[in-house]
A and B are shown apart, each in its own frame.
Chain A
Amino acid sequence: MALSSTDIATGDLLVERRLISLVQLDEAKELAVAWNVRLGDVLLARSWLKPRQFYETLAGNFDLPFVDLLKQPPDETLMEESDAETFARHLIVPWMRRNGRLVVATADPGPDAILFARRRWGGAFDLVVTSKFDIIWSLQSRFREQQSHDAVYQLAEIDPDMSAQRVVTVAQLIAIYACLSLVAVGLAFAPIATLIGINLVMTLFYLGNFAFKALLVWAGGVGQARSTQALEAEARLLHDRELPTYTILVPMFREPEVLPILANALRRLDYPLAKLDIKLVLEEGDHETIDAAKALALEGIFEIIRVPASQPQTKPKACNYALKFARGEFLVIYDAEDKPEPDQLKKVVAAFRSSPDNTACIQCRLNYYNARENWLTRMFTLDYSLWFDMMLPGLERLKVPIPLGGTSNHFRIDVLRELHAWDPFNVTEDADLGIRMTQKGYRVGVIDSTTFEEANCATGNWIRQRSRWIKGYMQTFLVHTRRPVHLVRSIGVLGVIGFLFFIGGTMLSGLLNPLFWLIFVAWLVTSTSGFDILFPPLLLYFALFNLLAGNGLFIYLTMVAPFRRGWLELVPYGLSVFWYWMLTSVAAYKALWQLISNPFYWEKTQHGISKHTAIELAKAKAESAAEQGA
C-alpha cells in the first residue's frame, strides 16, 4: 500500500524543518509501506524525533492548532467513563466547548478522526491536534477513580461466582464442615475403618495424580515436532503489513534495575516496532521505577501507565487498569526480566490464524536463562521444563483447561475485555483466567516458543513465590468448584478430572506428601507394626505401587524434562528432586496458612538478584549504548 498524501506532506515538512534527515525519511517511508502503518508511527518507534516535535508538525501540516492537554486539560463534563476505551483506541477526546462548537483533540488527524467525530458528536465540531501521550494521560486523570474501582471490582460485581473476592461460599463452608464432621463421627465410632477409608482416598488420589500426569506427558509428546515445524513455516510466511497492532503489558513494581533488559528484549522482537503498543504498568507510588523508565528515554512505542494506589495491590489489578488503554488486537503480558524469543509474536499471530475461532489465548513456554546458577535454579528449570514443555501440550491435546503461566500468555483483547480480564483477588490470576476461559467456551492453545526469565536463586525468595502460586491454585480450585454441575457441563468430565488432578493435585500433593513421608520414615526406623492395620493387603499393594512406580515416574519425568532443549547436563539433578518436593511442601503449608489469614496478600518475588541478571543487564546497557552511538 502506498503512503497517504498526509504522510508524504508531513514527511516533507519534517525534513524541511530539519527535524529528520532525508535518509531517515526515505527509510521511514519504506518501513511505513512495508508495515502498513502511518509514517509518524515509524518515526516515533525509531525515536528519530521527539513526539512533541512530530505532533506540532502534524498540526502544521493540517493547519490546525496544537494543544498541550497537560497544561490545558479537557473539560471533564464532556467525557463519560464508558467512552474511555473507545477514545484511547481512536486517540481522540472532546476537549472543550468554544463559541458553541465542540473542540475535539486528536493525535491522529485525518479522515478517520473526522468520521469518528461526526458519528459521535455530529457536524458542529472543530479539530485540534495533541500528542498520543496527552490523550492517554488525560483519560487516565479524568477516570482515575472509576477505572481504578473497575480494575478491582468489575469481575466481582458483574460475575461474582468467578471472583475470588469471597474465599469460600456458604455452600462450600457447609460441605467442608460436613466432611470434617463425617470424619470425626467415623473416628469416634469406627476409628480403624475411618482411617483405612481416609488412607484409601489418599492412595487413590496419588494413583490418579501420577497416572494422569504420565498420560499428559505421553499425550503432549505426540506430534509435537510436526506442529512446531508447521508453526514456524506459517510464521515465516506472514507479511509485516498483515500483522495487527500488538499490546504488550509489562507490570512492574520496584524493579528499576531490570528495565534495560526488558527494553532491549522488546526491541529485538521480530515484529514491526510501530505496531507495538508497549505499556509499562507501574504503581503511581513507585517513583524509583517511574524515574528509571523516564531516564531511559524510551522510544514512542513505550508508554508508562501509572496505576492509582488501592487494595489489593496486585499484578492483576494493575493489568486490568492498563487494559483500558490497550489498542492492540492481541495482548501479551511479560515480566520485567523476560526475554521472549524474537519470533514469538509472529508465531502467536500465525497460531491464532490457524486455530479454531474460539481460541482466546495462546500460552508460550517459559524457561530460565540462569538455569545453571545453583542447585535451586537447576531444579526450577527442570520443574518448568516438565510443566511447560511436557505437560501443558498434553493438557491442550486432551482438551483439559489450561492454567496459564505467569507471563507470555497472548490474548485476543476483545475476549479479555468480554470476560472482565483478570481477577485481582486471585494471586494466580493467570491460572484462574485460563480455567475461566475454558468454562466460558473459549480455548487456550500452547505453542513452541519460549520466553526466558530469571529463575529464583534464593531459597527464601523461592518459597515466597511458590507459596503465592500454591495459594493462588487453592483460590482457583475453590472458585471453580463452587458450582460443580456447571463445571461438569462447561468443561466436560475429562476436563473436570484434569482440573482436579492438575490444579487440585498440585496443591494437595504438597500438603499430603510430608504426612506419608513421616509414616514411611517412622515405619522404616522403628519397624513398627502399628501401621499394618491401616494397610490391608489390597491397599498395601496400591500404596507400594504409588511409592515405587509413582515416585520413580515423577523422578524420571523430572530428569527427562530438559531433554527437548538438549540440556542433558541437568538430567542428574533430577535425582535430587525429593529435596525440591520438600521445599514445595514448606511453601504449600505457608500458602494454606496465608489463605486463611491473609488471602489476597501478594507475596512479592524479588527479581534481579541473580548474577546472570547482572550480566544480562550489562549486556543490555552496552547494546543500547552501541545502538544509540550508531
Chain B
Amino acid sequence: MRRAAGFLLVGTGCFALCVAYLLWLQVNDYQSASMLALSGDVVLAAEGRTGVTAFATAYPPLPHLLSFLVAYSDLGTAMPAAVAAALGGGFFGASLYGISRQAGIGVGASLLVTALLMANPLFLRALAEGPDIVLLLCGMLMFAHGLFGLTRDGTVQHAMAVAFALVLLVFSHHYGVLIVFAALPFLALSAPRELLARAPGGLFLALLFPIAFAMLGFAYIGWLFAGAPWAFLSDPDAAVIGSPERTAGLVSLLAVALSFAVACPQLPVLAARSTRRRILLVPTLALGGTLLAAIVLATASGSSLSPFLLLSPAVALAGACTLHWPSAHVRGTVGIVLAVVGLLGAGAAATRTTDRADRTWRADRTWREAVLGAPRSADEHPSRAVARYLGDSDGVLLDALAHPELVALRQTARGLVVPSDPRFSLALLSVRPSEPLIAVPAPSDAPVTRDRIRQAFSDFFEEGAPGYRVVYSDANWQVYRSQTITTGGN
C-alpha cells in the first residue's frame, strides 16, 4: 500500500512538473508539429467530427487513445496531446522511482535519480514532441528492465515484461517498429542460455506472440473499419519508412552516436564495469546495440524524427542501467553521479549539435530556443497565421483530417465544415462550394496530396472559384470568402 501511495505521489509530482515545462514552451510559442496534429485529431474525435473509422484505425493507437480520453474528459484544455504527454511523463517518472525503490535505493536518492533523468535534455525533448515519444520511452524502460531480468532469472514475469514492452513500443510510435526490428537479434543474444538451448522456438514465441497478435489485431481493425488492414504501415503521417530525401548523412549519424555516449554514460560505464558478469554485460550491450541499430535503421530509411528524438530512448536505458548497477550499496550514489554527467553531456550535445544548419537538426534547434526563451530562428508552424485569421469563424470549408493542426491552433472544430459533414461531401460532389469561407493549402504543402478540397478543385489555390475572393494569403494557405454568403466572424 505504501509502495502504491509513493508511486502515485511521485507520479503526480512528475505530472505537475511536466505540465509546467510544457506551459513554459507554450508561452514561448513552441508546440511540436506532431503534438498539434495529434491534438487536432482528438479534438475532432471528441467533438464528434470524425467517423469511427478514422479514430479506430488511427496509428499509433496508444497516444491517440490517451489523448482522446483527455479530450473527452473535457479538462478544458485545447491541447489534449500535451496533457497526455504530461501524463506519460508522470508515469515514466513514477516508474523510474518505483524501480529505484525496488532496487534498494533510498527514497531521497530515488527521487534525485528520477529528477535528474527527467531533467535530461533528451527526455525534455521527447516530452515536448508529444505523448507518442513519451510512451515510447515508457516502453523502452519496460523493455530494458525486462531484458535485464530475463537474462538474470529467466522468469515468466520478465519474459512477459519484454513481450508487452514490444507491444508498447510498436503501438506508441512508428519509431517503435524500428526499435523492435533492431531488437530481434539482440533478444536472441540476451535470452538465458539454458532456455534457448531447451526450446528456442518456444522462447521466441513467448516473447513475440503479443506483438504479432497485436499487429494482426490492429490489421483486423483496419480491415473491419476501412477495408485496408495494413494501411497503418503506409500512413504518411506515421509511416515506418520515411521518404528517401529525409535520409540523414553519415555526419549526422556520427553526431548522434557521439551524443549517445555523452548523454547516456550509464550504459558504457555499466558495460565496462561488468566485463566479467555475463548477466549484466549481455543485456547492457544488447540494449545499446538495439538503440544504435534502430537509429541506423531510422536514418537509413529517412525517418522524419529529429536526431535528438531518435536518441531520446537512451534516457530509459540510462535509468534501467542505473537500477541494475551490480553493487547495491552504491547504486544510489552511482546513479546520481552518472545522471548528473548524462545531464551535462546531453546539455552540451544540445548546445553544440543543434547549432548545425543541417535540415535534420532544425526541429531540435527551435525546441532548444524555446526552452531557453531565446528568439526563434524559424517558425515550424506554417498554419499558425491562418489559424489565427480563421479564429472563431463560422462555415469554413476545410479538410481538417488532412490539417488537424489547424483545429488544434483554433482550439476547436466548431465553425468548420469537415469531411465527416454531409455539407463537405456535397460541396465536393457538386463541385460548387456553398460555404462562406474556404481554406486551401498551397501545392507545396506536404499533406496537400491528401487534402480533399485540393483534390476536388485542383486550381483553387491559384485561381479561386467563381463568386469567391481571396481574403487571406500566405506562402502556405489561401482563404477565400464567398461574395454572396455571409459568416459569423472576420
- Measured in the bound complex, the distance between the Cα atoms of B32 and A78 in whole Å is 95
Q: Is A221 touching B157 in the complex (CB atoms < 8 A)?
A: yes
Chain A's nearest CB lies how many Å from the CB of B239? 24
Query: Closest Cβ of chain A: how far from B198's Cβ, in Å?
Result: 6
Q: How far is the CA of A194 from the CA of B173 in the complex (A)?
A: 41
Asked if B201 is at the interface of the complex by the 8 Å CB criterion, the answer is yes
Q: Which residues of A contact B210 (CB under 8 A)?
A: 552, 556
Inter-chain contacts of A575 with B (CB < 8 A): 205
- Are B217 and A548 closer than 8 Å at their CB atoms? yes
| Assembly CA distance A563 to B195 (angstroms) | 9
Asked if B155 and A221 make an inter-chain contact with CB atoms under 8 angstroms apart, the answer reads yes
Q: Does A570 reach chain B (CB closer than 8 Å)?
A: yes
Question: B202 near A: Cβ within 8 Å?
Answer: yes
By a CB distance below 8 angstroms, the chain B residues around A555 are 209, 213
Specify the chain A residue showing the minimal Cβ separation from B164.
A556
User: How long is the Cα–Cα vector from A549 to B213 in the complex, in angstroms?
Assistant: 9
Query: Measured between alpha carbons, how far is A540 from B195 in the docked complex, in Å?
Result: 41
Which A150-164 residues have a C-beta within 8 angstroms of B? none
Please encode chain A, from 550 to 571, with 1 for each CB lying within 8 Å of some chain B CB and 0 for all others: 0010011001100110101111
B155 touches A556 (CB 8 A): no
Q: B279 to chain A: closest CB distance in Å? A: 15
In whole angstroms, what is the CA distance A563 to B205 when docked?
12
CA distance A82 to B140 in the complex (A): 67
Q: Is the CB of B220 within 8 A of A221?
A: no
Q: What's the minimum C-beta distance from A66 to chain B, rounded to whole angstroms?
A: 60
A566 to B197, CA, bound (A): 11
Contact of B199 among A222, A549, A568 (CB under 8 A): A568
User: Which positions 392-451 of chain B face chain A at CB distance < 8 Å?
Assistant: none
Q: B485 contacts the other chain (Cβ, under 8 Å)?
A: no
B220 contacts which of A540, A541, A548, A556 (Cβ < 8 Å)?
A: A548
- Per-residue contact bits, chain A 316-335, to B (CB 8 Å; 1 contact, 0 not): 00000000000000000000
Contact with B along A114-136 (1 / 0, CB 8 A): 00000000000000000000000
- Count residues on chain A whose CB falls below 8 Å from chain B CBs: 24
Q: Establish whether residues A560 and B213, one from each chain, have CB atoms under 8 Å apart when the complex forms.
A: no
| B157 cross-chain contacts in A, Cβ below 8 A | 221-222
A572 at the interface (CB under 8 A from B): yes
Q: Does B235 contact A (CB under 8 A)?
A: no
B213→A552 contact, CB < 8 A? yes
Whether the pair B156, A563 counts as a contact (CB closer than 8 A) is yes
Taking CB atoms and an 8 Å cut-off, the chain B residues in 161-200 that contact chain A are 163, 194-195, 198-199
Task: Answer whether residue B231 sits at the interface, using C-beta atoms and an 8 A cutoff.
Answer: no
- Per the bound structure, the CA–CA distance linking A571 and B217 in Å amounts to 21
Residues of B within 8 A of A570 (CB): 202
CB-CB under 8 A for A571 and B156, given A566-B195, A566-B198: no
Nearest CB in chain A: distance from B168 CB, A? 13
**B interface, over-half SS:** helix
> Which of A222, A548, A564 has the most chain B CB atoms inside 10 A of its CB?
A548
Q: Which of A390, A537, A552, A568 contacts B206 (CB 8 A)?
A: A568
Whether, in the assembled complex, B214 has its beta carbon less than 8 Å from a beta carbon of chain A, the answer is yes
Q: Are B201 and A572 in contact (CB under 8 A)?
A: yes
**Contact at A559–B205, with CB atoms within 8 Å?**
yes
Q: Given contacts A537-B52, A569-B202, are A552 and B217 in contact (CB under 8 A)? A: yes
Chain B residues with CB under 8 A of A549: 217
Cβ contact of A225, chosen from B155, B195, B199, B214, cutoff 8 A: B155
Q: Is A309 an interface residue (CB 8 A)?
A: no
Contact B156 A564 (CB under 8 A): yes
* Interface: A176 (CB within 8 A): no
Q: A221-B155, A560-B159, A563-B159 are in contact. Are A571 and B221 (CB under 8 A)?
A: no
Which residues from chain A contact B209 at a C-beta distance below 8 Å?
555-556, 559
B402 to chain A, nearest CB (A): 24
Please give, as numbers and ranges, the residues of chain B lying within 8 Å of A537 by CB-CB distance: 52
- Residue of chain A at shortest CB distance from B198: A568
Q: In the complex the two chains form, what is the Cα distance from A569 to B206 in whole Å?
A: 11
Complex contacts, B198 vs chain A, CB 8 Å: 566, 568-569
**Cα of A563 to Cα of B159 in the assembled complex, Å:** 9
Residue of B nearest to A222 (CB): B157
Using Cβ atoms and an 8 Å threshold, which residues of chain A touch B206? 559-560, 563, 568, 571
Query: Using an 8 Å CB-CB cutoff, how does the interface string of A225-260 with B read, 1 for contact, 0 for none?
Result: 100000000000000000000000000000000000
A533 beta carbon closer than 8 Å to chain B = no
Within 8 A of A (CB), among B219-264: 220-221, 224
Contact of A180 with B by CB under 8 A: no
For B221, the chain A residues whose CB sits under 8 A away are 544, 548
Report Cα–Cα, A232/B213, bound state, in Å.
39
Asked if B115 CB lies within 8 Å of chain A CBs, one says no
Q: A552 contacts B214, CB within 8 Å?
A: yes
A221 to B221, CA, bound (A): 32
Per a CB cutoff under 8 Å, which of B156, B205, B217 touches A572?
A: B205
How many angstroms from the CA of A222 to the CA of B203 in the assembled complex?
21
Complex-state Cα separation, A221 to B164, whole angstroms:
15
In the complex, what residues of B have CB within 8 A of residue A552's CB?
Answer: 210, 213-214, 217
List A contacts of B199 (CB < 8 A): 568-569, 571
A552 to B221: give the CA distance in the assembly, Å.
Answer: 14
Quick check: is B358 within 8 A (CB to CB) of the other chain?
Answer: no
Chain A residues whose CB sits within 8 angstroms of the CB of B224 once the complex forms? 544
Complex CA gap A540/B225 in Å reads: 12
Answer whether A225 and B156 are a contact pair too, CB < 8 Å, given A552-B213, A570-B202, A571-B205. Answer: no
The reply to whether B213 and A568 contact each other, CB–CB distance below 8 Å, is no
Complex Cα distance, B214 from A303, in Å, reads 57
A369-B106 Cα distance, complex, nearest whole Å: 46
Alpha-carbon distance between A544 and B65 when the two chains are bound, in angstroms = 15
B214 neighbours in A (Cβ, 8 Å): 552
- 19 further A-B pairs in the complex, CB-CB below 8 A; given A541-B56, A571-B205: A221-B155, A221-B156, A221-B157, A225-B153, A390-B156, A537-B52, A540-B52, A544-B224, A548-B217, A548-B221, A555-B209, A556-B209, A560-B156, A560-B160, A564-B155, A564-B156, A566-B195, A570-B202, A571-B201
Question: Which are the 3 A-B pairs with shortest beta-carbon distances?
Answer: A568-B202, A571-B202, A568-B199
Pairs across A and B, CB under 8 Å, 7 listed: A541-B56, A548-B217, A556-B209, A559-B209, A560-B159, A566-B195, A571-B201
Interface residues, chain B, with chain A CB atoms under 8 Å away: 52, 56, 153, 155-157, 159-160, 163, 194-195, 198-199, 201-203, 205-206, 209-210, 213-214, 217, 220-221, 224
